[in-house]
């Protein structure tokens, strides 16, 4: 875990630039190798082994890869929900039916081509049906605080899950070097339950716990 060592805590924009610079230096082979290890770690989680519905996402570019993870969950008979970005930056959800069912997103993406599920849109509240939610991010810290890209879409998802009858397990998928001692936090930020990296799992709420 990277330490701050007395340096001033960076703001969110500075930390995002730092993480994205490292990610942009990864080769396709790097991403693929990390993705295989990440999938093995994530699939061993009890939260996923016992889940009937998992909300996840389609990785793009140099993000920690999710393709193998999505396909294995689906092969297990898990109902996998994937997001579709709405014009107001909220997320609707659709059922993943295999890689051929994905299509370019209608909104967002910038220089990256985001993929979303084809077919019926289940609406923003469908995520509350999930037993576990796999979240994208750029960093997580020792408190379980997650740093996202800043669009606010997953802030809405997490707020919606706080109001759910039963809150699902919240798991962020990252590279090993993105687990840090501290990331900037704002009042609306909510902690996750665990982080999965290619080398292991760290849980929050049980200090120092690692699987």
Listing DSSP states for 169-180 in one string gives EEEEE--GGGBB
- For residue 195, the number of C-alpha atoms closer than 13 Å in the C-beta half-sphere is 29
**Which range marks the domain in which residue 48 is found?**
12-203
Angstrom distance (rounded) from CA 166 to CA 176: 30
Predicted confidence band at 190 (pLDDT cuts at 50, 70, 90)?
A: confident
Global model pTM greater than 0.85: yes
In a domain, 146, yes or no: yes
The DSSP call for residue 5 is T
In a domain, 6, yes or no: no
Q: What is the pLDDT of residues 122-143, one digit of tens each?
A: 999 999 999 999 999 999 999 9
Predicted confidence band at 2 (pLDDT cuts at 50, 70, 90)?
A: very low
> Residue 123 has what pLDDT?
92
In a domain, 170, yes or no: yes
In a domain, 122, yes or no: yes
Q: What is the pLDDT of residues 153-174, one digit of tens each?
A: 898 999 899 887 888 999 999 9
- For residue 14, the number of C-alpha atoms closer than 13 Å in the C-beta half-sphere is 6
What H or E segment, with its residue span, contains residue 75? helix 67-75
> Residue 108 has what pLDDT?
58
Residue 76 has pLDDT above 80, yes or no: yes
Residues 86-97 have a mean pLDDT of 93
> Residue 150 has what pLDDT?
74
In a domain, 1, yes or no: no
Higher per-residue pLDDT: 144 or 186: 144
Task: Using the structure block, give the residue that is written with the tokens 């396709």.
Answer: 28
Q: What is the CATH number of the domain that holds 141?
A: 3.40.50.10420
In a domain, 55, yes or no: yes
Residue 9, both tokens:
């805590």
Residue 88 has pLDDT above 80, yes or no: yes
Percentage of the chain beyond pLDDT 90 is 62
Nearest to 62 by CA among 111, 37, 27: 27
Q: How many domains does the chain have?
A: 1
Burial of 72 (0-12, 13-18, 19+ CB in 10 A): middle
Inter-CA distances, 6 with 19, 33, 50, 74, 186, Å: 20, 34, 42, 45, 20
Written as one string, the DSSP assignment of 141-196 is -TT-BEE--SSSHHHHHHHHHHTSSSPPEEEEE--GGGBBS-----TT--B-SEEE
In a domain, 208, yes or no: no
In a domain, 140, yes or no: yes
Predicted confidence band at 193 (pLDDT cuts at 50, 70, 90)?
A: very high
Q: Which of 108-122, 130-144, 193-207 has the lowest mean pLDDT?
A: 108-122
């Amino acid at each position: 875990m990277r330490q701050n060592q007395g340096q001033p805590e960076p703001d969110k924009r500075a930390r995002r630039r730092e993480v994205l610079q490292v990610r942009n230096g990864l080769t396709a082979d790097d991403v693929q190798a990390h993705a295989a290890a990440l999938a093995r770690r994530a699939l061993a989680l009890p939260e996923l082994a016992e889940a009937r519905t998992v909300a996840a996402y389609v990785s793009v570019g140099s993000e920690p890869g999710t393709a193998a993870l999505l396909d294995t969950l689906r092969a297990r008979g898990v109902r996998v929900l994937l997001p579709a970005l709405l014009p107001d930056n909220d997320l609707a959800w659709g059922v993943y039916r295999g890689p051929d069912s994905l299509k370019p997103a209608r909104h967002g993406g910038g220089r990256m081509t985001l993929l979303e599920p084809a077919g019926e849109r289940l609406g923003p509240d469908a995520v509350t049906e999930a037993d576990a939610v796999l979240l994208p991010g750029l960093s997580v810290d020792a408190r379980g605080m997650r740093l996202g890209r800043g669009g606010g879409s997953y802030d809405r998802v997490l707020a919606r899950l706080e109001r759910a009858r039963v809150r699902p397990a919240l798991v962020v998928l990252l590279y090993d070097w993105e687990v840090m001692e501290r990331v900037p936090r704002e009042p609306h930020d909510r902690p996750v339950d665990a982080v999965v990296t290619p080398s292991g799992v760290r849980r929050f709420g049980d200090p120092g716990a690692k699987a």
